[in-house]
Amino acid sequence: LPICAFAQDSTIVQQEIDRRPYIYIEASGRIEIAADLTKIAISLSEKRKSPEEATKLISDKIAQFRSALARLGIADSSVETKSFQFAKVYLIAKDKKGEPVSSFADPDRDKFDGFRATYDAVATLATTDRIGEVLSSASALGIEVDSVTFASSREAEYVEEVRKIAADKARSRAEVYAQSLGGTLGDLLNVKEGTGYNPDTMAYTTLEGYADLAVLDASTAPMAIAPGKLTYEASVSAKWALAPAK
């Protein structure tokens, strides 16, 4: 068999090319479903003279937020802490014109001004119907809402489903071409997730970029109150030998 050599990451890769007649197909799958989960990213930052004071203030507000969620029938476990940080706060010195002398604080130069505690969390709601009430509860406590996104509790199932749709489409299309050309579909020679491969080598060279792997596009407008549809997509490239008609 002929040998194909091509550059990839400054390394010469040799690959045998199967010269049998073949059919190369690219296909994709796509489904749209309604979201059943809402993820609300929140943050809270407080500055006080001592770390204990800053911590207590944040703890009290988060406790009030959890209580508000409980009154809405949302479980306490729905709020997951992502980070909790402390930092000393300094007042950056100013020059004669009243401008800060630097963009960064210097403990040896600047005046100490207390401690800042920062809390970040994500509230995952098993509903898309109580978003407005949750946002109102957060706002009343001075809690910032960084984003509202939607998801599905059956995400893994839907990802597998669109992959199967893409694979079935590829094989069905290949069978139609094979029969129309007076042959039959032979052995499956290669299959890869994504599209844009070289049919001979089934490789995606660095000069051309990277193949597009299965994409999950579950984005909706940040801070949107009404959930949109979630779109799940997958693509596949497959190569079959073209065999003589039986």
163-187: per-residue pLDDT in tens? 999 999 999 999 999 999 899 999 9
Burial of 14 (0-12, 13-18, 19+ CB in 10 A): exposed
| φ and ψ at residue 225, rounded to 5 degrees | -90, -40
CB 105 within 8 A of CB 30: no
What gap in Å lies between CA 61 and CA 43, rounded to an integer? 11
Tokens of 95: 């020059």
pLDDT at 246: 75
Query: Is this model's pTM higher than 0.95 or not?
Result: no
Q: In this predicted model, which residue has the larger pLDDT, 221 or 119? A: 119
Q: Where are the alpha helices (DSSP H) in 102-180?
A: 131-140, 155-180
**Res 225 pLDDT > 60:** no
Task: Read off the pLDDT band of 204 (50, 70, 90).
Answer: low
How many angstroms separate the Cα of 72 from the Cα of each of 40, 68, 96, 224? Answer: 15, 7, 55, 20
pLDDT, tens digit, for every residue of 10-35? Answer: 444 455 666 778 999 999 999 999 99
Nearest to 191 by CA among 139, 137, 237: 237
